[in-house]
Structure 1
Amino acid sequence: MNRLRIFNKAGDPPAPQNKHWYSLKASGEAEARSIEVYVYGEIGTWGITANQFVRDLAAMDDGVSPIVVAFNSIGGDLFDGLAIHNALSRLGERCTGRVDALAASAASVAVCGAHKVVIASNAMLMIHNPWTYAAGDAEDLRKVATALDQAMEAIIAAYKAKAPNIDEVELRRMVNAETWLTASEAVALGLADSVGEGVSVKACLGQGGALQRYQHAPQALLAQLEEPPEPTPIEPEPEKPPVVDSAKLALLITQSCNTAGISNLIEALINTTKLADEATVNAAISNAKAVRDLCVAARLPEFTQEFVAAGLTAEAVRGRLFDKLVSGGGFEIDNSLPISDDPAPKTQAKQPDTNAIYAARRAAQTGVKA
């Protein structure tokens, strides 16, 4: 079975930002409630999937409150971007898409699903051709090229749904050329409705390594990558080191792992944490759960123990899994909603006890009970 995953042109997935960049919140009283969604990162497997986006939004949406979806994203998986586009479109006039700094590639497709799009005065919208990687014989590659052509039509349809009066010939030329649109240019084309107040563009550069891989990324954005990071404040050392109860910490690891169904990781966690303190142990347990979830999602659960024993963070594991999946022939996309009522497991019949059967037969023949 051929598998195809269409990306932006950023190549390998960028290192995730340390902060939690995807969040939803509701504010106000019932009669004046509003919902805000922040998509500040990659779209797809290595960031926020359409599956998670739709489930989280459905859990919070009451069907009447206005919804603002703010984007600050380099893009990602095209199909997830299209699914988010359609999810926003279904919300109708309640939905406003907001470009806070950058909506590139799949993110530009997603935000155009909103009924109204507001772009900050110093933000940008980037549109370009679909991109993927492939391997196989000539016929396989011809099929991939056909799929990319079809994906291109989906992109054009998404933009024209937002800007029906846009000149299609010019739109195709801009997409093919990888075009970076300023706020005023996006409004002039109809891909945005109005220009909002400017915000700090630097907030989007947590994924600057990917930004550098685009062919025509604006120098104003790239220049900010060279700015030195703000110094981290140095906290004073405690006067007396706390007393560590190793037995208590080992018990904490054992109980937490048994509860989470990762008892095979107990020894690895004890070795990697060295039972230093409770904060270290709790962080390692949380990381082990995240590593397990990533390996299961990638259908490579057998690597969980190896990664945890090596002390790898969830961010590092994402990179390792990406390499293994690429070398193994690509990704298989599963954006289906989870089944809330899985069928009960089948009860297996008790296996026959052959020794008991033979003993009963001998007793019947000889008249002697065993």
Structure 2
Amino acid sequence: MSRTNKPWYTLKNQSGAAELMIYDVIGDWAGLSARQLVDSLKTLDSHDITVRINSPGGSVFDGIAIYNALRYHPANITVRIEGLAASIASVIAMAGDTVQMAENALFMIHNPFGWVSGEADDLRRTAGMLDKARDSIAMTYSERSGLPVSDIEALMAEETWFTAAEAKEKGLIDSIDKPVKLAASFDLSLFNHAPPIAMEPPAAKPVPKPVKVEQEGAGDAVVLSIVRLCNQAGYPELAERCIRDQLNPEQVRQKLQDCENIKSLCAAAHAPDLAADFIQSANTVDEVRASLFDKLTASDAMVNNTLTPDQQQNTIKPLIDTAAVYRHRNQNQTSPA
């Protein structure tokens, strides 16, 4: 599933009634972070908040933070599951004082999972962290449904998918609404027992055929290869995104090279602190170059284009056309008022 610059959430507040729409993978990308959302919710002065969900999940800890921000907000929270509430998105749904679900929607709970590489102690720490996350999530479902935690843990271990009627029977939702027509745009291949999504696909955009894995275990090998590449390049945080986007190792190598190019661009523009935000926001190299050019030409500060000793010994193609920056600035300074 390819990433775009479309935000994964929107928050609107009008006349004391707010609407939060979570309609994509939950996490820090497209320039929006869960921390930004939590901070906005803390300062939101509304009597009623409607949360609309159609999401396959995402970052576990981001989702827990959003759940807590909603749960402890003084407003009345109404959750509407309009398509899919899977994984951590279903935990967020539990924050509602009232939880409604479209008749054709799906609700999924499972044990949290993640990727890690390192020595034995690293693996043990990660396993302990996942166990604690599982216990916290199971308690959340139990408090809403009234089911024993042990029953919830068994359902999570099996990766259980619920229809609206089944979710209501288990006490996970309060009511069932009429069906909602939505495009099925999520890649659910990371899950083990995902059923076919009975939502209407867009007429002008046929659903691509899934890539077939020729032999059992090949998918795991690709995942491990991606994790290893990201760790070796110094970008372990990109592994989850690359796996979620179903990139092959060659595409991952290109993405990592783009990250290095972005860091070089920012360094050349004497703005190395901007590199992490550009990379996190999934900006392309061309977009970063254009953004830095705009910042440089808009600044009144002197531009230091002195080459380092290493750069003086090598003939390289400049990442930023500093001559164009000077021309642009000189034109602005010499033009009559």
2:290 corresponds to 1:307: no
2:103 corresponds to 1:121: yes
Q: What is residue 62 of structure 2 aligned with on the other side?
A: 80
Q: What is residue 211 of structure 1 aligned with on the other side?
A: 188
Is the CA contact (8 Å cut-off) linking 2:181 and 2:200 kept in structure 1? Answer: no
Q: What is residue 197 of structure 1 aligned with on the other side?
A: 178
Q: One-letter code of the match for 2:37?
A: F
Q: What is residue 38 of structure 2 aligned with on the other side?
A: 54
Give TM-score, length-normalised by structure 1.
0.54
- CA distance in 2: counterparts of 1:114 and 1:300, whole angstroms: 30
Q: For the structure 1 residues 217 and 311, does the alpha-carbon distance in structure 2 shift closer, same or farther, using more than 3 Å as the test?
A: farther
The C-alpha deviation readout for 1:45-70, integer Å capped at 9, x for no partner, is 236532111223345x224x211011
- CA distance in 1: counterparts of 2:182 and 2:287, whole angstroms: 39
Q: How many residues align?
A: 231
The CA deviation at 1:300 is 8.8
Q: What is residue 238 of structure 1 aligned with on the other side?
A: none
Is the CA contact (8 Å cut-off) linking 1:72 and 1:102 kept in structure 2? Answer: yes
Is the CA contact (8 Å cut-off) linking 1:85 and 1:114 kept in structure 2? Answer: no
The CA deviation at 1:103 is 0.8
Gaps of 5+ in 2: 207-264, 292-337
- CA distance in 2: counterparts of 1:58 and 1:80, whole angstroms: 15
Q: Which has the higher contact order (CA 8 A, sep 6+)?
A: 1
Q: For the structure 1 residues 300 and 129, does the alpha-carbon distance in structure 2 shift closer, same or farther, using more than 3 Å as the test?
A: closer
Is the CA contact (8 Å cut-off) linking 2:42 and 2:69 kept in structure 1? Answer: no
- CA distance in 1: counterparts of 2:179 and 2:204, whole angstroms: 23
- CA distance in 2: counterparts of 1:75 and 1:56, whole angstroms: 20
Is the CA contact (8 Å cut-off) linking 1:37 and 1:68 kept in structure 2? Answer: yes
2:163 corresponds to 1:182: yes
For the pair shown, which has the larger CA radius of gyration, 1 or 2? Answer: 1
Q: One-letter code of the match for 2:179?
A: G
Q: What is residue 149 of structure 2 aligned with on the other side?
A: 168
Q: One-letter code of the match for 1:167?
A: P
Q: For the structure 1 residues 177 and 88, does the alpha-carbon distance in structure 2 shift closer, same or farther, using more than 3 Å as the test?
A: same
- CA distance in 1: counterparts of 2:200 and 2:190, whole angstroms: 15
Is the CA contact (8 Å cut-off) linking 1:88 and 1:95 kept in structure 2? Answer: yes
Is the CA contact (8 Å cut-off) linking 1:122 and 1:183 kept in structure 2? Answer: yes
- CA distance in 1: counterparts of 2:87 and 2:39, whole angstroms: 23
Q: For the structure 1 residues 226 and 212, does the alpha-carbon distance in structure 2 shift closer, same or farther, using more than 3 Å as the test?
A: farther
- CA distance in 2: counterparts of 1:155 and 1:110, whole angstroms: 10
Q: What is residue 229 of structure 1 aligned with on the other side?
A: 205
Q: What is residue 311 of structure 2 aligned with on the other side?
A: none
- CA distance in 1: counterparts of 2:48 and 2:105, whole angstroms: 23
2:124 corresponds to 1:137: no
- CA distance in 2: counterparts of 1:50 and 1:184, whole angstroms: 31
Q: What is residue 108 of structure 1 aligned with on the other side?
A: 90
Q: For the structure 1 residues 141 and 102, does the alpha-carbon distance in structure 2 shift closer, same or farther, using more than 3 Å as the test?
A: same
- CA distance in 2: counterparts of 1:310 and 1:49, whole angstroms: 19
Q: Of residues 253, 262, 276 in structure 2, which corresponds to 1:296? A: 276
Q: What is residue 41 of structure 1 aligned with on the other side?
A: 24
Q: What is residue 23 of structure 1 aligned with on the other side?
A: 10
Q: Of residues 82, 93, 96 in structure 1, which corresponds to 2:78? A: 96
Q: Give the SS at the match of 1:229.
A: coil
Give TM-score, length-normalised by structure 2.
0.59
Q: One-letter code of the match for 2:130?
A: L
The CA deviation at 1:26 is 2.8
Q: Of residues 130, 137, 150 in structure 1, which corresponds to 2:132? A: 150
Structure 1 vs Structure 2 CA RMSD: 3.6
Q: For the structure 1 residues 213 and 188, does the alpha-carbon distance in structure 2 shift closer, same or farther, using more than 3 Å as the test?
A: same
